[in-house]
Structure 1
Amino acid sequence: MATDQEMKSEFKRSGFKLVEEDEILKRCVTLCINYSLTPSELVSSWELYHLNRQCIDQTVTKDEIDGFIVHLHNQQKEAILKEASGLHIYSHRDVDMLLDGIPEDTEEVIVTTPTNKSQRLHPDPFDSVNRSKDYGYSSAKSAGHVTPFGRRVDKFVVKFSLGDATANAENGNKNDVESSEDDMIIKRVQTSHRCSLKVNGSGPEPGCRFMYDRTEDRFNALENRIRKHADAFAASGLYEEQVDPAVASQRSIFAVGMICCDGEGHLNDKSILLQSSAMRTSGQRVPLDLNRLNQFSIFPGQIVGIEGQNPSGHYLTASKLLDSVPLTATPDVDLPPAKKQNLDQEVLAVADESREKSEVSFVIASGPFTTSDNLMFEPLNELLAYVKRKPPQLLVLLGPFVDSEHPEIKKGTVDATFDEIFQIEVIRKLQDYVEFMGSEVRVVLVPSIRDANHDFIFPQPPFNIRIPDLEHQMTSLSNPGTFEANQVKVGCCTVDVLKHLSGEETSKNPSGVPIDRMSRLASHLLRQQSFYPLYPPPESLPYDSSLAPKALQIPSIPDILLLPSDMRYFVKVLSIGEGEDAAKCVCVNPGRLAKGEGAGTFVELTYNGGPESMHASIISI
């Protein structure tokens, strides 16, 4: 049974300060009893609730408890519905089905292979109304049925804006949505100049051999990460000579190693271990005491530099923790230089390589691209209608495209292959878009491990897209992947690394100092120079150690970092380093284009040389 003291210690360990402590603890203990939760589980749920509300203040007030109770109730309801797979919740859609005149004996449909492919594939991929009659996976809706997504009132409303430029979205103007064909031609003529595009080729290639990694591969991947960071600290010349942290010493020492957890649970101040390099030192794990530090943020798999003392040889007491590799670090000599594919028809001159960054306009959206009640891909249709009216130089689409978590996909009730859905609902529409808009626009696709039509592996190879005459306008990256548009470096990863880090991170912050946790989580990737620095990864992630060393490395801080997440959308400017030498990076979480049966968000971003002259808007679709 939970006690007030246990609850208080869990909140304190997570960095939260309680206002009106007695009242809050009393209500939290009651919640633990009512929802059968431990204090640790309750505080973890509070952290998720706190992050989704994007609260900067790390305080808990009794006024927030009522909203938290609703959050817990929804979590429990979702868990019950997930366990009861045979349970059916009746809604307005069941009534609509009966009113449409569908006989009762058609509830259980026997899925067969259509004799004519045209019976499944509708003639116009942009026609969402007639699809229900022609396409096999239309969720049995009549032609006149209006989906919850189609009933939304406000379209293209700016949720958040960053920069000096005035937001230029429609803000709910429905007249612009019904643009005429003549207006579309005028917009196409006014499209800005085409941007250059170079794709970094350090990720896996299509058709690569995966899931054959050995224990040796996993060991070498971790050992090389520790060694690389140790070399970077040594090359900076700012720190003492590195020694073995497991060897007893009466003087202050400096050591580099990886944060580990002593057990399978959540990292806490009693279970922190430091694992050093096996090649340079003993490779042993030594308990790490961080109680003397006023501020830190650590997670399993993080490579850190530690200044401290270990007089007995059994416990390293830290006086300083360094979680960032010096920016002057030299590249890893063991890794070959990344190949870059120039996707321009003309070959850039050597002089162009050193030119200053020019302006680039982006529209960035992350899947799912269809709502959970059908496979009509209405959000994607709306997004393409928007970029036809306001064409960016680069349209970046982040998976999943054919979401393996979609109810219809999970139940296997569709009568088309996953690849057919992808080709018709995504590729064909994008092909029509670039052909209509001309050579000025480009499209970049990044897969997700949730894509049902692609390899279930991380790091992940790109989609194998081969369209004659359009290969310079439509391209796919690996996951994670990097590219350059007009010399602007962009990195992206569709695995929800922010959510994974949020569940494993342990931090301590000075009291009274506001903390932006989302910025801190995103900064971990840049400080660790890795798209996925967490180790061990969760069981749900198909992590391949033989592919990871090259593909996950961030050799230099990008100008823009795209990290789609289930957490609340944001656009933030991250600063790595100190003083005038600090490097800045724009981190973007566009949110999901579709959320359940409703609309989600996407990002419109114009980057002109640096974050100071950038404008970004988060727009609800």
Structure 2
Amino acid sequence: MATDEEIKREFNRSGFALVEEEEILERCVTLCINYSLKPSELVSSWELYHLNRQIIDQTVKKDEMDGFLLHLQNQQRESIMKEEAGLHIYSNRDVDMILDGIPEDTTEETVTTPTNNSQRLHPDPFDSINRSKDYGYSTGKSAGHVTPFARRIDKFVVKFNIGNNVEAQAENGHNNDVESSEDDMIIQRVQTSHRCSLKVNGSGPEAGCRFMYDRTEDRFNALENRIIRHADAFAASGLYDEQVDPAVASQRSIFAVGMICCDGEGHLNDKSILLQSSAERTSGQRVPLDLNRLNQFSIFPGQIVGIEGQNPSGHYFTASKLVDSVPLTVTTDVDLPPAKKQNLDQEVLPLADESREKTDVSFIVASGPFTTTDNLLFEPLNELLAYAKRKPPQLLVLLGPFVDSEHPEIKKGAVDATFNEIFHVEVLRKLQDYVEFMGSEVRVVLVPSIRDANHDFIFPQPPFNIHIPDLEHQMTSLSNPGTFEANQVKVGCCTVDVLKHLSGEEMSKNPSGATTDRMSRLASHLLRQRSFYPLYPPPESLPYDSTLAPKALQISSIPDILLLPSDMRYFVKVLSLGEGEDAVKCVCVNPGRLAKGEGAGTFVELSYKGGPESMHASIISI
């Protein structure tokens, strides 16, 4: 049974202060009993509730507990529905139908498999509903069925704006241009002003690569090389003393570089923090780390840090200063092997337009799922492409999952087509129609997800193997994570929910009374650690490959734009590394999910003109 002291301790570890302590703790004990939660699980749920509400104040108040109760009830309900959705009992009639090819009784409104192969492979590309019925994607619903997504009232509502732009819509305002033309039978073709250049920096795994062969030695070497690389960067900066083994007893103040680890399973706490140094440069031993003297820090397992402090006994390293950011150095993508670079734009830009073309680029960024959970009609994707036709960007960036392995119908196997067929017909063919309709001025970038049922379940992940004649320069697939340059604007993206993973493992301490933006802090960890996924060990659900990770996850230079889709609340934030004039800025974007359950989600429309100061971004509900 959870006690007041345990719950209070967990809140304090996560950096939350209790305003009305006695009443809140009594309420929390009741919640733990009613919902069978451990104190750590209760606080983790509170953190998610706190982040979704975008509450800046790191306090727990009594008047917020009713909303938190509803949040727990929704979590419980979703968990029960998820378990029931995966249950399917087959009858003898099901088996007979499969063996004998007997169609089901049409009175039960269950879709049958088409007998005409040409109908399967070449459906009408503009008839989404009929195609879904023919393929069995519509989960047994008739073509005339109006889905909850189609019944939504507020369409293309601007949820959030950042930056100054004369075309910016007011918060919660409507895009009248889209609304007024939504029901038009003929969409007027609008051309983008300029075609953007595109260069893929291919440091990720290639299609068809070998994976799932990593050994214990590979995992050790990957961690060892990462510690050494960071230690060399600290030494090259000239800002710190010579590095010393933190496990060796010393009466003087020393400087050491190592990786944050947890002593055992569970979350980090004051008593479980360890520092692991390099086995090649030092002893490689893990030494307990005391951070009580610090008034501010943010750590997580796998983080490489520089520590100033003392270890007089040789058993405990007491820190007086913690440096969690690798010193900024001049690192360019030229360091990558030439074979790993692929220039997708062969045209030579006129000299007169060169300066403007380098910095001016417009994006629409959306993250999957691209269909609602009640069907496989891909209605949100259709709406997004219709919007992109009316307000065409230079670059349409789509982040997976596309054929979501977590979709109820995919999990139950209730479709009569392969995952590749669904991907090619419902996604690629629609994108091909979009590109052909808009002309050569637009480009599409696709990034896979480990949740894609039609792709390799591995991280880092190779790109989709897409080969469409005459459109290879307009439709491009990246690895996950991946980086590219559009008009020399550097963009990095990763579809693994690293923000959510870091949120569950991070331990932080802030000065009393100080308010911090936690989402900015979580996103900054990637830039400070120069890694798309700095957390180690990764969750069991992540198929992490230590042989592919070292090169693929490394951020060689700070990108101008960082795309991090997450289940957490959407945002557009400007991150800053360094101080003063030497500070490097990066725009971090979480577009949210295009589809949420049976309803609509969000996407981002972004115009980048030279830097964050002249950028404009809008988060739009579809």
1:342 maps to 2:374: no
In structure 1, the partner of 2:230 is 229
Name the CA shift for 1:146/1:180 in 2 (closer, same or farther; >3 Å).
closer
1:175 maps to 2:176: no
Instruction: Measure, in 2, the Cα distance between the counterparts of 1:509 and 1:615.
Output: 31
In structure 1, the partner of 2:212 is 211
In structure 2, the partner of 1:407 is 408
SS at match of 1:321: strand
In structure 1, the partner of 2:36 is 36
Instruction: Measure, in 2, the Cα distance between the counterparts of 1:228 and 1:333.
Output: 18
In structure 2, the partner of 1:151 is 151
In structure 2, the partner of 1:556 is 557
Give 1:413 shift. Answer: 1.2
Query: 1:207-256 deviations in whole A, cap 9, x for unaligned?
Result: 11111111111111101100000000000000000000000000000000
* Counterparts of residues 505-584 of structure 1 (less than 5 Å): 505-584=506-585
Query: 1:366-396 deviations in whole A, cap 9, x for unaligned?
Result: 0000000001000000000000000000000
The aligned amino acid for 1:287 is P
Give 1:132 shift. Answer: 5.0
Name the CA shift for 1:107/1:289 in 2 (closer, same or farther; >3 Å).
farther
Instruction: Measure, in 2, the Cα distance between the counterparts of 1:411 and 1:161.
Output: 40
Q: Are the equivalent residues in 2 in contact too, given 1:132–1:140 (CA < 8 A)?
A: no
Query: 1:261-308 deviations in whole A, cap 9, x for unaligned?
Result: 000111111100000001100000000000000000000000000000
Q: Are the equivalent residues in 2 in contact too, given 1:154–1:172 (CA < 8 A)?
A: no
In structure 2, the partner of 1:243 is 244
In structure 1, the partner of 2:299 is 298
Identity between Structure 1 and Structure 2 (%): 85
Query: 1:481-535 deviations in whole A, cap 9, x for unaligned?
Result: 0000001000000000000000100000112111110000000000000000000
Give 1:103 shift. Answer: 9.5
Instruction: Measure, in 2, the Cα distance between the counterparts of 1:122 and 1:141.
Output: 22
* Counterparts of residues 451-466 of structure 1 (less than 5 Å): 451-466=452-467
The aligned amino acid for 1:257 is G
In structure 1, the partner of 2:269 is 268
Instruction: Measure, in 2, the Cα distance between the counterparts of 1:105 and 1:473.
Output: 43
Name the CA shift for 1:592/1:151 in 2 (closer, same or farther; >3 Å).
same
Name the CA shift for 1:242/1:437 in 2 (closer, same or farther; >3 Å).
same
SS at match of 1:228: helix
The aligned amino acid for 2:135 is Y
Name the CA shift for 1:279/1:113 in 2 (closer, same or farther; >3 Å).
same
Q: Are the equivalent residues in 1 in contact too, given 2:261–2:301 (CA < 8 A)?
A: yes
Q: Are the equivalent residues in 2 in contact too, given 1:236–1:329 (CA < 8 A)?
A: no
Instruction: Measure, in 1, the Cα distance between the counterparts of 2:142 and 2:7.
Output: 53
1:184 to 176, 182, 188: 188
Give 1:80 shift. Answer: 2.8
The aligned amino acid for 1:471 is E
Q: Are the equivalent residues in 1 in contact too, given 2:109–2:142 (CA < 8 A)?
A: no
In structure 1, the partner of 2:613 is 612
In structure 2, the partner of 1:163 is 163
1:389 maps to 2:396: no
In structure 2, the partner of 1:198 is 199
In structure 1, the partner of 2:51 is 51
Query: 1:15-73 deviations in whole A, cap 9, x for unaligned?
Result: 11111211111111111121122222111110111111111110111110001011111
Name the CA shift for 1:614/1:407 in 2 (closer, same or farther; >3 Å).
same
Question: Which segment drifts farther, 11-20 or 345-354?
Answer: 345-354
Instruction: Measure, in 2, the Cα distance between the counterparts of 1:403 and 1:521.
Output: 26
In structure 1, the partner of 2:97 is none
Instruction: Measure, in 2, the Cα distance between the counterparts of 1:30 and 1:375.
Output: 41
Give 1:130 shift. Answer: 3.0
In structure 1, the partner of 2:10 is 10
In structure 1, the partner of 2:93 is none
Query: 1:547-589 deviations in whole A, cap 9, x for unaligned?
Result: 0111000011000000000000000000011111110000000
Instruction: Measure, in 2, the Cα distance between the counterparts of 1:81 and 1:442.
Output: 39
Q: TM-score, normalised by structure 1?
A: 0.93
The aligned amino acid for 1:387 is A
The aligned amino acid for 1:46 is W
The aligned amino acid for 2:323 is L
Unaligned runs of 5+ in 1: 89-101
Question: Which segment drifts farther, 352-361 or 154-163?
Answer: 352-361
SS at match of 2:128: coil
In structure 1, the partner of 2:92 is none
Q: Are the equivalent residues in 2 in contact too, given 1:153–1:172 (CA < 8 A)?
A: no
In structure 1, the partner of 2:429 is 428
The aligned amino acid for 1:614 is M
* Counterparts of residues 593-604 of structure 1 (less than 5 Å): 593-604=594-605
Name the CA shift for 1:481/1:27 in 2 (closer, same or farther; >3 Å).
same
Instruction: Measure, in 2, the Cα distance between the counterparts of 1:84 and 1:299.
Output: 35
Instruction: Measure, in 2, the Cα distance between the counterparts of 1:330 and 1:570.
Output: 28
Give 1:611 shift. Answer: 0.1
Name the CA shift for 1:483/1:338 in 2 (closer, same or farther; >3 Å).
farther
The aligned amino acid for 2:115 is T
Instruction: Measure, in 2, the Cα distance between the counterparts of 1:56 and 1:114.
Output: 55
Instruction: Measure, in 2, the Cα distance between the counterparts of 1:302 and 1:360.
Output: 34
Instruction: Measure, in 2, the Cα distance between the counterparts of 1:173 and 1:477.
Output: 30
Give 1:338 shift. Answer: 7.4
Query: 1:299-323 deviations in whole A, cap 9, x for unaligned?
Result: 0000000000000000000000000
The aligned amino acid for 1:407 is P
Give 1:128 shift. Answer: 3.2
In structure 2, the partner of 1:497 is 498
The aligned amino acid for 1:231 is D
The two structures, once aligned, show a CA RMSD in angstroms of 2.4
Q: Are the equivalent residues in 2 in contact too, given 1:277–1:283 (CA < 8 A)?
A: yes
The aligned amino acid for 1:175 is S
Unaligned runs of 5+ in 2: 89-102
Instruction: Measure, in 2, the Cα distance between the counterparts of 1:31 and 1:220.
Output: 45
Instruction: Measure, in 1, the Cα distance between the counterparts of 2:215 and 2:587.
Output: 37
Instruction: Measure, in 2, the Cα distance between the counterparts of 1:441 and 1:225.
Output: 39
In structure 1, the partner of 2:116 is 116
Give 1:362 shift. Answer: 0.2
SS at match of 2:212: coil
Q: Are the equivalent residues in 2 in contact too, given 1:248–1:311 (CA < 8 A)?
A: yes
Name the CA shift for 1:448/1:351 in 2 (closer, same or farther; >3 Å).
farther
Give 1:328 shift. Answer: 2.2
SS at match of 2:383: helix
Question: Which segment drifts farther, 353-362 or 517-526?
Answer: 353-362
Instruction: Measure, in 1, the Cα distance between the counterparts of 2:148 and 2:121.
Output: 24
In structure 2, the partner of 1:258 is 259
The aligned amino acid for 1:373 is D
Give 1:150 shift. Answer: 0.3
Instruction: Measure, in 2, the Cα distance between the counterparts of 1:400 and 1:410.
Output: 14
Instruction: Measure, in 2, the Cα distance between the counterparts of 1:358 and 1:203.
Output: 25
Q: Are the equivalent residues in 2 in contact too, given 1:81–1:87 (CA < 8 A)?
A: no
In structure 1, the partner of 2:99 is none
Q: Are the equivalent residues in 2 in contact too, given 1:14–1:506 (CA < 8 A)?
A: yes
SS at match of 2:208: coil
The aligned amino acid for 1:487 is Q
Instruction: Measure, in 2, the Cα distance between the counterparts of 1:479 and 1:286.
Output: 35
In structure 2, the partner of 1:76 is 76
In structure 2, the partner of 1:95 is none
